[in-house]
Structure 1
Amino acid sequence: MAKSTARLKFPLAVDQGLGRLREEPNPDAYIQQLIRQVILTGPGERVHRPDFGGGLRRHVFALNSFGGAALAETTVYQALDRWLGALIRVEKVEATPRDATLDVAITYVVLARGTRQYLNVEVA
């Protein structure tokens, strides 16, 4: 019997043309996906990890003020540091309230390559 040498590598993505798993070719896109997953998941949403997530969406419905934005900044920073601290170093998180949305700008360094990246997320 022939031994299989295929391995499952990370990061993963789904090939939209074939509908099959493939390795994510862009590591920066993979890390951005992880960041979004952490900050947009609310604590309690994951069954086996009830403390996972930053719960950013709940800040949209809180007082839409600069004080509320400061609290969102702290929450995002702490969640990213806790859950992705082995992959990235967060340099700055800026949250700006605007009507019924919260704009969040994250500056971080990818530790494996030492490159600075930026991610803007609008939460409505």
Structure 2
Amino acid sequence: MSPRTRPRSDIAFPFRADRRGRTAHARHDEHVRDLIEQVLFTSPGERVMRPDFGCGLLDLVFAPNSPELTSTLELSVQASLQRWLGDLIDVEDLDVVSEDNVVRVHLSYAVRSTGTRRDDVFEGRAAA
């Protein structure tokens, strides 16, 4: 297969080696899912060259659970996804659930470049 006909792939997240010992790759839709996960679970200030990157979702895990917290989490997630991935995805439905030290994000979205619709659940645990 020539480089011109080879399907596009991106580096997999988290970074790992494949079974041949080479850098693992992901198809575009999987790569977009990986990007969403990075936005959700990266705290602002965590990346030196992009200090405002991320959602800070896990920063609010131990806040008292309330309807206000749920609204704040959903607004934060929606704003971060729009800011960082707005050119790649269209968010169709979003639900954030916080229980104990676990946050679950149920996300329905469409990948703009392929038109693929996906329903994914992202789960993050805060360090106790």
TM-score by length of 2: 0.80
Q: Measured at CA, do residues 72 and 95 of structure 1 come closer, stay the same or move farther in structure 2, by a change above 3 Å? A: same
- Paired with 1:66 and 1:99, the residues of 2 have a C-alpha distance of 15
2:11 corresponds to: 12
- How far the C-alpha of 1:99 sits from its partner, in A, is 3.1
1:61 corresponds to: 62
2:76 corresponds to: 75
The residue type equivalent to 1:12 in the other structure is I
- Paired with 1:107 and 1:6, the residues of 2 have a C-alpha distance of 33
The two structures, once aligned, show a CA RMSD in angstroms of 2.1
The superposition leaves residues 66-108 of structure 1 with CA deviations (integer Å, 9 ceiling, x where unpaired) of 2211111110111011101111011221112323322211111
1:112 corresponds to: 113
Say whether the 8 Å CA contact 1:65–1:97 is kept in structure 2. no
- Paired with 1:121 and 1:49, the residues of 2 have a C-alpha distance of 23
- Paired with 2:92 and 2:124, the residues of 1 have a C-alpha distance of 21
Q: Measured at CA, do residues 19 and 117 of structure 1 come closer, stay the same or move farther in structure 2, by a change above 3 Å? A: same
1:39 corresponds to: 40
- How far the C-alpha of 1:122 sits from its partner, in A, is 2.1
- Paired with 2:3 and 2:22, the residues of 1 have a C-alpha distance of 14
- How far the C-alpha of 1:49 sits from its partner, in A, is 0.5
Paired residues in the alignment total 118
| 1:29 partnered with 2:30 | yes
- How far the C-alpha of 1:57 sits from its partner, in A, is 0.6
The runs of at least 4 consecutive aligned structure 1 residues that moved more than 3 Å come to: none
Q: Measured at CA, do residues 21 and 100 of structure 1 come closer, stay the same or move farther in structure 2, by a change above 3 Å? A: closer
Identity %: 39
- How far the C-alpha of 1:15 sits from its partner, in A, is 4.1
TM-score by length of 1: 0.83
2:52 corresponds to: 51
Say whether the 8 Å CA contact 1:66–1:97 is kept in structure 2. no
